[in-house]
Structure 1
Amino acid sequence: MSSGSRNCSAPSAATWDSSEPRRRDMKSNTEWAVTALVLAAACARSNGTAVDALHAGDLLVQIAIDPDPPRAGDNVMHATVKDADGKLVDGARVELVYDMPAMGAMPEMKGSGETKALGGGKYDVSYGLSMLGDWYVTLEIEAPGHPPAQLKFKVSPPRKGYTVESRGAGRGATREGAPQMLELSRERQQLIGVVFAKVERRPLSLSLRASGRVQVDETQVADVVLKYDAYVEKLFVDQTGQAVKAGQPLLVLYSPELLASEQDYLVAIRSEGVPGSEQLVRAAEERLRLWGFSDARIAELRKRGKAEPRVTIHSPASGAVLEKNVVAGTRAMAGNVLYRVGNLGRIWVLADLFESDAPFVQPGQPATMTLPWASGASWKGTVQFVYPTVDEKTRAVRARLAFPNARLSLKPGMFVDVNVEVPLGNRLAVPDNALLASGEHRYAFVKRGEGQLQATEVNVGAMAGDYDEVLAGLSEGEEVATQATFLLSSEAQLRNALPRWGRP
């Protein structure tokens, strides 16, 4: 057998000798069966692993690996190339590259094969595998008069055989600017954990987070201000922070100016019948009203008929004393603020938002407030006002939010965290984990067919938590990969399926 071919025919039954005893006949029968099996196995081994022809572009390719199962070391791939009519194709350029992706601390391993044309459409490609495991093999075929073709396999020594990953046109057949496809078998997708989700319309809302500071609600503040000079004789409320109620006595004053005004009013009343007395009464009464006398207090003065040099000042509102600017025995000048009383049952929070949040935050939007040190506790409020300017130093937009504080647990000066919910309505959206960032660009891997993914650039609008708004690049109903996108990007970059990453 110098030609390298083998006679694969089985021994003929006519060679049996019927004159032998029955036991010898049975032994010969057994030996013949074993010989037939050995020759059949040898025949299959000599032809590689017989498989149906694989379609690659417009070519038919028969593949056999030797040895089978492949091993760590030298291996040979036997390829027979035919055209669509079954004619053998000679003069083709056959190239083989193989790689094992990086795993953990182990770097990626790759290499190329050495091709030998045998004639008659047959090609042997020698390649060496450095270790056992999953190797991905790409066979590129460029034949005269045919577009480039490509076959992708996976061999996993010491397991027998190979798995076809993809087949079709080679990289040279893709037009410049045409969509780039990443081809992964279903088995490969399951191995790296690819999961798909649909691009669809859904209600979106932005969560604008910011830090803020508790302040007194300015609309709940009342000042005690004198309109005449006086002397402080006694304080009923002598501590800052003390709680007071509306109408509660605060202090007693002695005022010579007030005494003189009361006396003028009484004299004008007693001068009834004198020409011009009515004008005097009205003028004196108006002066007392401007100094804070109520109608009841003026009526009491008229009834008493005697001026009182001392006056008790009462709290104008309920709340806490925020400021106390008076002590007993001092002189209080007209216009001085003696007390500032604030109702802390409702508070303000001044929050600094990012400049980019300015188009979204509006008065009336719901907000939630939490304390950094009090997990689980939260307060519901609303955005009350958005300031019209941006801080030049911090580039922040300030918003004022109002929250109830019935238990008075929120103190002015506290630092808090606020979250403003901004409803955006129904918008076309994609899961956030489906998008892969590349500089200023975003990509998604779109399912284009069985085992085919396309890296598509996506124009993203509002980023609403787990979902991002899609402005362009994706259509409703398309399926995108939402898991293992980093691994997919690595595969795509290796296979030049991310055009922007493939160019500087």
Structure 2
Amino acid sequence: MLRRVDVRAAALLGLAALAAACGNQRTDRATEEPKNAGAPAPAAPAAAPAEGGLCKEHGVLQALCTKCNPRLAPVFQARGDWCAEHELPESICPICHPERGGKPAADVTRDGAPADGTKVKLRTKDTARLAGIRTEKAVERQGGGGIPATARIVYDALKVAEINARAPGVVQKLHVDVGSEVAKGAPLAVIDSAHVGADRSRLAGALSRLRAAEEDLAREEQLEKEGIASRRSVLAAQQEVAAARAEHASLAASLAVVGASAGGGSGYTLASPLAGVVTQRRATVGRLVGVEETLFEVVDTSSMWAELDVPETELPAVSLKQPVVVQVDGLEGRELRGEITYVAPAIDPATRTAKARVPLANPGGALRANMFGRARILAPARAAVMVPRAAVQRARTAKLVFVRLADDQFEARRVEIGATEGDLVELVKGVRPGEEVATEGSFLLKTETLKESIGAGCCEAD
């Protein structure tokens, strides 16, 4: 039953499926007597055993075997699909077309959508005009919509900081929370650590030792000048100064790495290594933390990356510094532009795509991680077939375009959609430049092809 369709247009189309010819057995058509049958039809011979749906005796689909089911012969003869020499439909004749294995060229589809090549024949040559079906030619454009690819927005990995505790301890104070904007060096949390307290004590001891060693060295040098002390004692004092200085420097560096000053106490402050937004916080006051766990994540979102999934077949046309236009779901009407800076050397075995990276400026913060969208990799030397958006119809899980073969005949083509450009859509495959595709009224053609889930290639207008 047609839905949302003008009743007059539907009546003009009147597209009925030839069930036997199209693989969907309709007993009302399949059992009709030929109009010129003046005598009872000859008895049909017993059907040959079938294996996998094939007639073992004649090598064609059992449901379409005209030798086992003679009443089907007039149906194929009426549509011009008949091999008189072998008394079988020409389209499945195993002798004329052994490569088809006794099956239609466009076999019944499993997804319930019309098969590629399904033909729709109108009642008269004027039916298309009366039904409001209009066509436009598919055009070829250099560059066209570009190479299509899916895109996912991710953080710029060079501007992400994961901050962990520099020394084990207990969180004493928090300065920020998720969503806080921080500058480089801004405090995030204060952690009380016994390790830091011990290092500070050792640093104070090392400083005292260094000062005492320096005083001893000065005294020994003075005594050497007066001829009282030996050179050997001066050298020993110099070694003590060097050892004390090294110990002090080591402890001071250790505290600097932690972010603690040389002052008293056992606490130290975690600081942000870059300016950005706090996107994660796992620290809570009073929690005992170790050096292995991440307490904060800070991200600079002034720029983001678009990760593209480039089809394997398009990789030869993709290179570094190639311009890309990205459209993100949720930001309709906006086109973001960038260049490819990286193409993965490996292909995903599951999706047969390779990752490509495109840095994108994000001054307003509109881009967010894990957004999805579509990308066009601009390739000026690549020709693209473009058709009006209205020409593409969705039939269950497939996308169809109806190509006009004659004034009263259209053919359904399964297509893959590429990028869009205004009201035009790129067809990756399915239609050649110059072919006329139905635009207005293409919904009526789609509806007729779905009336019987036709899959083997034909429906006609009565």
TM-score (normalizing by structure 2): 0.46
TM-score (normalizing by structure 1): 0.43
* Structure with higher strand content: 1
Computing the radius of gyration from Cα coordinates, the structure with the larger value is 1
